[in-house]
Amino acid sequence: MTVSLVEEARGGPFVYWDGLENACQEASRLGFHGIEIFAPGPEAVDQVMLKDLLRTHSLQLAAVGTGAGMVKHGLSLTDRDSDRRTAALAFIERMIDFGAQFSAPAIIGSMQGKWTAEVPRPQALSFLQSALNRLGAYAAARGVRLLYEPLNRYETNLIKTLADGAALLSQLETNNVQLLADLFHMNIEETNIEGAIRSHCSVIGHVHFVDSNREAAGRGHLDLAEIALALRESGYKGFVSAEALAIPDSHSAAATTIATYRTCFGP
Ligand SMILES: [Mn+2]
């Protein structure tokens, strides 16, 4: 279950918006196993309180997002300015440190940025590759993986499919980076969602379980039973995380997600 603590992102694809306590209570009550946090920065989370909440509600921290580096500070790993790229790396390193306290991986999604006239595609990909090498090793030294998320064409022009993501990973010097398969992005970019999952499952480390319209799983037109079957038959053991719009509201989105999850994956 996702929870956003970033006010600037309100209306974005996160299920809970009103603090960690509320999110943990609801997630636990509905039967979720973990929460995924989208935070403005590590200092925005009282880590002692979070530890307490997770223990009280028998939840794990599934992952931490880093997109606030882009949303709040305009940072990206492929910025033309080397000081800005360094600041982006530093922001993500602090988020990796935060997640590592809870054995949770950090996610690189929008922080990958885009290629532009000033930073042509080969240059942007080279910046991204060296950032993933450095951050992958940084995460490995702290005992956690790093997740890299291909996005749809309206959010990036760099890496949009699992195949391109897997090719990028295969060129890295670290094997500590895995792909995040987000079903909303995949619905736009993949030729065949189940086929892409089956082909690249060995490098999938996390799934955003969401429907075609970015609403809760079950509120769109994806064949989630077939997608779940592809994940199960490929031996996927990671989280499937509800990164979805709070439509019609947080509680309904959460309840619909868990009902769909149980239909697809079993009780
Ligand atoms: Mn996502």
| Consecutive 10-residue averages of pLDDT for the chain (267 residues) | 94 95 97 97 95 98 97 97 98 98 98 98 98 98 98 98 98 98 98 98 98 98 98 97 98 98 94
Domains, the chain, with CATH or none: 2-265 (3.20.20.150)
What's the 190 CA to ligand 1 centre distance in angstroms? Answer: 15
pLDDT value at residue 85 = 98
pLDDT value at residue 137 = 98
pLDDT value at residue 267 = 82
In this structure, the number of other CB atoms found within 10 A of the CB of residue 222 comes to 21
What's the 214 CA to ligand 1 centre distance in angstroms? Answer: 9
Question: Phi-psi category of 218—alpha, beta or left, where left has phi over 0 and alpha has psi -120 to 50?
Answer: left
243 is catalytic: yes
226 is catalytic: no
Judge whether 240 and 196 are in contact, CB under 8 Å.
no
Q: Indicate the burial class of 161 (C-beta count within 10 angstroms; 0-12, 13-18, 19 or more).
A: middle
What's the 213 CA to ligand 1 centre distance in angstroms? Answer: 13
What's the 46 CA to ligand 1 centre distance in angstroms? Answer: 24
Q: Which of 26, 36, 93, 149 is catalytic?
A: 149
What's the 240 CA to ligand 1 centre distance in angstroms? Answer: 11
Q: Which residues surround ligand 1, an ion (CB under 5 A)?
A: 182, 208, 243
What's the 208 CA to ligand 1 centre distance in angstroms? Answer: 5
C-alpha to C-alpha distance for 240 and 258, rounded to whole angstroms: 11
What's the 148 CA to ligand 1 centre distance in angstroms? Answer: 10
pLDDT value at residue 176 = 98
What's the 36 CA to ligand 1 centre distance in angstroms? Answer: 11
Query: 258-264, long-range: CB within 8 Å, 24+ apart, which pairs?
Result: 258/30, 258/31, 258/32, 259/218, 260/216, 260/217, 260/218, 260/224, 261/209, 261/217, 263/218, 263/224, 263/225, 264/217, 264/224, 264/225, 264/227, 264/228
